[in-house]
Structure 1
Amino acid sequence: MLTYTNPVYEDYFADPFVWEYEGVYYAIGTGPAEAEGMVDEVAPVVGVDSTKLRVFPLLRSFDLVNWHFVDNALLRPDPALGDNFWAPEVAYCDRQFYLYYSVGHEDKNHQLRVAVSDHPVGPYQDTGKPLVDPQSCPFAIDPHPFRDDDGQWYLFHARDFLDTEGGVRAGTALVVDRLQEMTKLAGDEKVVLRARSDWQRFLANRLMYGEIFDWHTLEGPCVRKHEGRYYCFYSGGRWETENYGVDYGVADNVMGPYSDAGNETGPRVLRSVPGHVMGPGHNSIVFAPDDKIEYIVYHAWPKNMAARQMYLDKLIWTPDGPSCEGPTWTLQTLDAGKSE
């Protein structure tokens, strides 16, 4: 039986997205250079032209437990777009792989883009245009492609809202739109979830868009359909603090309306364990090798807060909704769900 101890990959690896293709697992995430906007600084070190640089570390595993670095996945687009590359995810459709990601300058002017490859490890080539107009939406991050049972694809992501009507909080929150093509949105965006609770606060008295806000954050959407209902997992709060964790909203229709009622006291799927694991979040979900047991893959800080690393733990479906056995930091057995 396979065993593991979190983190399952020792190097910096934030926003992990894991998928399986032809019996092999792949993981793509935000590396330290992408997160900190140091992509240009990396180029001289490796001795390549920054316009030919590849970004986003990509890993491979044959058992979901042992991971190895393969290469960086994305051929860098126009450097004028920015040096911060965040939260890549990959979708497979019609024999092509589509890499969705955001790029921008620090905490502003982030736009959603998509790149294409014939192979899961790339290289991925940017299509040359944003998915959402940066003029009308100056901050869009964390794209998550979701395929429904009928084959239709949707794109969930996070964007900023400044209104506070109806008890919602100003800040980053979640929306969804239908993908008319894998590289084009239909333009029928719907709000998925807005922040409502104190634990989702990112920062009080934050200067944003020329005003001061009590800023709240919902980000990192990940959608799973379970027994006919749509569960949108998300991360809330401030990513570098112990209040950050994973919760979910649920809906009967993929476009909503979604409700995350019941989370007023904190995230219900993953939350920090002080002294052991801090700030678990930005998850993806994948099946174990038997295609029966689901695992939630996420990043978290170890107790020394040295780097965000990749963790995985078993996802459990209960009559009250999804939950998780983690975050764990001791020896675990990979549950493949095999029957005798």
Structure 2
Amino acid sequence: MAALPFMPELLAAPRTYTNPVYPGSMPDPFVLRHLGKYYAFGTTNRDTRTGRFFKVLTSTNLVDWKEVGGALVPPKGAENMEYWAPEVVYVNGTFYLYYSRGGGAIGATVGHQLHVATSKKPEGPYEDVATLEVPQSRFTIDAHPYQDTDGKWYLFYARDFIDSDNGFYPGTGLAVDRLINMTKLAGEERTVMRARHPWTLFEANRTMPLYENRTFAQWHTLEGPFVRRRAGRYYCFYSGSNFLTTNYGVDYLVADNILGPYSDAGAEKGARVLQYVPGKVRGPGHHSHVMGPDGKTEYLVYHAWDAGMKERQMCIDKLLWTAQGPRCQGPTYTPQPIP
């Protein structure tokens, strides 16, 4: 029998993806992997069909996403407030959604507080069950629940510090507290890190109605904490600077204990994990980490601006653990192998 001719056109080309993996608005994307399926949650406006906040997308491969509605049912009387930065964990048959609710950041006299809602299904609907009060802060956002190896839960978050003690800049910094249960803080807050490098500037000469119209010569921002444990050390990733500027990106802190002290050595000159690519990628940050379908490759899920800076869109890229520390294989803007 004669051999069949080689026909390369019949070979299936390896699939690729190109960022963004979801073309619509999806700021502050958090991805939960549950029973082989991915659920993405983002800071989005109230869904006109369901009346819920936080857009929910589903996928089986981190690339092909389908919208399934909104997650959170707003409490009565709070429908017109702003809802930010959802994160979800699954514990003993219940899904817990952590988020902040308030009057916004710029020009607001009403601050933000952390809240938690629950559901029996990953996509929701979620009903608000508790407020996680941080009494010493009028503006507390970006809750990130983390379970340590001993089973104890902790909540990392970003909050305002208005002093300049010990050479730190006024602005939003990072803190952690122990969770007594999934809906109550222990009230044992520890500071994780405050801004101390020029690149984290949010705005100069910023007047803050939330603080009796006080003007701060320099207001800095560290936000969006996300913790990973590797080789016995704790890595607290965060986004720094103003999300509208070219300085905005992702860096990290390191500690030997979950409660610190954390070091940011090496972060003096700018973000090391994700950063601006001139003319290609602007504002990459406020990310989450998730394991890829192969169960081995870790991905960063983050937002970046579209070309016209009208929407922050969801992107993914591999996380690499290098001799110099964690780095992202990105932000990419060209075709990449599909997870």
TM-score (norm 2): 0.91
Structure 2 match to 1:338: none
Supply the distance in 2 between the matched residues of 1:302 and 1:57 (Cα, whole angstroms). Answer: 18
What's the offset of the Cα at 1:290? 1.3
What's the offset of the Cα at 1:268? 0.3
* Counterpart among 212, 216, 220 of residue 215 in structure 2: 212
What's the offset of the Cα at 1:235? 0.3
Supply the distance in 2 between the matched residues of 1:25 and 1:299 (Cα, whole angstroms). Answer: 17
* Alignment partner of 1:113 is 2:115: yes
Structure 2 match to 1:71: 69
TM-score (norm 1): 0.91
What's the offset of the Cα at 1:2? 3.8
Give the conservation status (yes or no) of the 8 Å contact 1:247–1:267: yes
Supply the distance in 1 between the matched residues of 2:78 and 2:224 (Cα, whole angstroms). Answer: 25
Structure 2 match to 1:20: 33
Give the conservation status (yes or no) of the 8 Å contact 1:81–1:104: no
Give the conservation status (yes or no) of the 8 Å contact 1:81–1:103: no
Percent of aligned positions with the same letter in both sequences? 55
What's the offset of the Cα at 1:77? 1.3
Supply the distance in 2 between the matched residues of 1:226 and 1:69 (Cα, whole angstroms). Answer: 33
* Counterpart among 82, 91, 94 of residue 93 in structure 1: 91
Deviates further, 102-111 or 197-206 = 102-111
Structure 2 match to 1:122: 124
> What does residue range 98-177 of structure 1 map to in structure 2 within 5 Å?
98-107=96-105, 108-127=110-129, 129-133=130-134, 136-177=136-177
Against the structure 1 CA distance between its residues 136 and 168, is the aligned structure 2 distance closer, same or farther, given a 3 Å change threshold? closer
Supply the distance in 1 between the matched residues of 2:293 and 2:30 (Cα, whole angstroms). Answer: 17
Q: Stretches of 4+ moved more than 3 A in 1?
A: none
What's the offset of the Cα at 1:318? 1.0
Deviation digits for residues 50-77 of structure 1, max 9, x if unmatched?
xxx2111011001111111011001111
Deviates further, 80-89 or 188-197 = 80-89
Deviation digits for residues 70-93 of structure 1, max 9, x if unmatched?
110011113348521000000111
Give the conservation status (yes or no) of the 8 Å contact 1:29–1:87: yes
What's the offset of the Cα at 1:136? 3.6
Deviation digits for residues 280-308 of structure 1, max 9, x if unmatched?
01010011111111100000012321210
* Alignment partner of 1:280 is 2:284: yes
- Equivalent position SS for 1:199: helix
Give the conservation status (yes or no) of the 8 Å contact 1:193–1:258: yes
Deviation digits for residues 193-239 of structure 1, max 9, x if unmatched?
11011110000001121321110000000101111110000000001
> What does residue range 229-244 of structure 1 map to in structure 2 within 5 Å?
229-244=233-248
Structure 1 match to 2:17: 4
Structure 2 match to 1:56: 54
Q: How many residues align?
A: 318
Give the conservation status (yes or no) of the 8 Å contact 1:82–1:104: no
Deviation digits for residues 226-285 of structure 1, max 9, x if unmatched?
111100000000011111000000100111111111111110000111211101010100
Unpaired segments ≥5 residues, structure 1: 34-38, 336-340
Larger Rg: 2
Deviation digits for residues 82-112 of structure 1, max 9, x if unmatched?
5210000001111110000001112141010
What's the offset of the Cα at 1:26? 0.7
Give the conservation status (yes or no) of the 8 Å contact 1:82–1:103: no
Unpaired segments ≥5 residues, structure 2: 1-13
Supply the distance in 2 between the matched residues of 1:303 and 1:266 (Cα, whole angstroms). Answer: 23
- Equivalent position SS for 2:117: strand
Deviation digits for residues 6-29 of structure 1, max 9, x if unmatched?
000000000000110000011101
Give the conservation status (yes or no) of the 8 Å contact 1:269–1:322: yes
